[in-house]
A and B are shown apart, each in its own frame.
Chain A
Amino acid sequence: MHVTELVITVILFALVTGVGFWAARWRRPPHLHSLDEWSLAGRTFGPWIGWFMLGGDLYTAYTFVAVPALLYGTGALGFYAIPYTAIEYPLVFLILIRLWSVCRTHGYVTPADYVRGRFGSPTLALAIALTGVVATMPYIALNLIGIQATLQVIGLNGHWPLIAAFIVLAAFTYRSGLRAPALIAFVKDVLVYLMIIVAIAYIPAHVGGWGHIFTVFNAHFTSVKPHTGLLLTSSNQAQYATLAFGSAAAIFLYPHAVTGVLSTRSRDVVKRSIAWLPVYSIVLGLIALLGAVALAAGIKPLASGGTANTNTIIPGLFESVFPHWFAGIAFATIIIGALVPSAVMSIAAANLFTRNIYKEYLRPHASDREQAEVSKVTSLVVKAGAVLFILGLQPQFSINLQLIGGVIILQTLPAVFVGLYTRWPHRAGLLAGWAAGLATGVAMLYVTGNPAAKQAHWGGSAFALSHLGFHTAVSMYTGFIAVVVNLLVTAIVTVAAKALRVPDGVDETAAADYYTDEADLPTQETEVIAA
């Protein structure tokens, strides 16, 4: 047990808990009894808060521990998160302002709300909502893995610290809604930047310099894993590029990312936040390199449940090189880093249930207040579910599900992103494309094994094209192939449905709705009070 680290972690955690509860009074709303107030903080965030909020939301604790762990475990291929997070913002820069405008005009809270309004199909909206929930749940669970890996290094091995942390998180999210993670994001990000600047300034020199680090890194992969290494090989370059691109296209389809975007005040705020968000990717690049540093420093992963948990290498590296008090700050940072996205994800998943299942099918006339109450309670259920995931199942199962999550959330791209630009697809086409994309995606993941981990199925997101009968060693990102299938089926079924005159849904949005801005909206009561 590392007492100093534990004490510092507990103090910082207590500070953040206070911030989380106090957040209910921040930018004081007249009340929190509507989804707009509880789950979108009144849609009033400006560029600074928007930037911190989205950064805190998208760069999770899992990112901080898993990205370097990936470099440590797989070499060059594990660096894909860097091009991925450089592509994602420029890619969605123009798309998200249209999504923001149409959602603001019609009061949509979830991506599925938008799909329902655009394509006039509650069934399609249900499909989009369920996909979002299924993709989000294991994501929350993975954040717990980030916390667990840190607690393991501190020396706390039981389940109770994890459960206690999540009960606290659930309580302040219930009370303060999106305001809690938004305010905590400031604390989190200051700590993250502090931790990384110190880590990068201090550790590499301590370990023998970058030249030495990469010599060890290269030697390790040449001797241990000849198929991967310091650079990409001829067979995994296509996989690397499609994985980076596919992940970049997928991230803003996740409900929690949409929640972050919709909490902002204007199109300008969306653009400015998105334009500056790659600053976080600079930090992520530095964090990723720590994976190579850990290898050179001889950090070995701790075992959990009989298997080596590579996610412990970053906490392990900090423990071995930092003084105790600073290791404590770093550990607290990782744990707090898990709280922000977990809170937003649980809010987003709860909203999907409330808007696209409860209100759609159970209580069509539910008031704003009732919807907010349902979402608040559902957010507790979602978090409890994520904890049960971790306690009841092998961590590997959550990782597999997360892998599937990335592939399936990408299958909502035709309805959500393509739908923002054209109303051409027929609702039947989108539904068929979604189903085809899901089926092929999951089937491809199933047949992919991982010989190194002795897994026959769910072994990774690199689909070997040899499965299709091609004589090649080339692999591609499963999600990318699945979304291509999805788009093709959507197009074919759309043509067929239109030829057969199958009735299409009614589009409740107008062309001008996609350009609505702050100035077009009536001044809100909340803004007056916030000022």
Chain B
Amino acid sequence: MSADLSPPVPRRSDHSPWNYLLLIPVVLPLLTFLYNSATPRLFGIPFFYWFQMLLAPIAVLASVSTFYLARRGTRRPGSAGREG
């Protein structure tokens, strides 16, 4: 991964429009009326249960996308591409 050589941004911020993606997994589970139903069933599992089990993958998707999308363009030298 090549290091971004642009000078550091003087005033830092965590703001990014992509952060709003995080609202989806936070708000969706609170709307109980959306999923408080036995049907449609999936493999015999009532909707109430299988829908809520989908919330965790939705949370992963939302926060992982937020992480990578918000990072584009804001990366500073020194913080790039270190694994471990």
Name A residues whose Cβ lies closer than 8 Å to a Cβ of B: 46-48, 76, 79, 82-83, 85-87, 89-91, 93-94, 97-98, 209-214, 230-232, 237, 240-241, 244-245, 266, 268, 271-272, 274-276, 278-279, 281-282, 284-286, 289, 512, 515, 517-519
Contact = CB atoms under 8 A, between A and B. Distances in A.
Contacts of B41: 211
Contact of A519 (B14, B30, B53, B79): B79
B44 A231 contact: no
| Residue in B29, B36, B38, B82 whose Cβ sees the most chain A Cβ within 10 Å | B29
- Per CB-CB distance, the 4 closest pairs between chain A and chain B, nearest first, are A211-B44, A519-B78, A83-B29, A210-B44
11 contacts: A82-B52, A83-B55, A86-B25, A90-B62, A94-B14, A211-B41, A212-B44, A214-B49, A237-B36, A278-B59, A285-B53
Contacts of A268: 71, 79
A276 B13 CA distance: 23
Contacts of A211: 41, 43-44
A89 B59 contact: yes
Contacts of A245: 30
Contacts of A83: 29-30, 52, 55
Contact count band on B? 35 or more
Contacts of B84: 46-48
Contacts of A517: 76, 79
A contact patch SS: helix
Interface string B11-30: 01110000100111110011
A216 B19 CA distance: 43
A85 B56 contact: yes
Given A231-B48, A512-B12, A244 B30 contact: yes
A76 B64 CA distance: 29
A210 B46 CA distance: 9
A282 B29 contact: no
Nearest to B23: A90
B60 A275 contact: yes
Given A230-B46, A281-B59, A241 B30 contact: yes
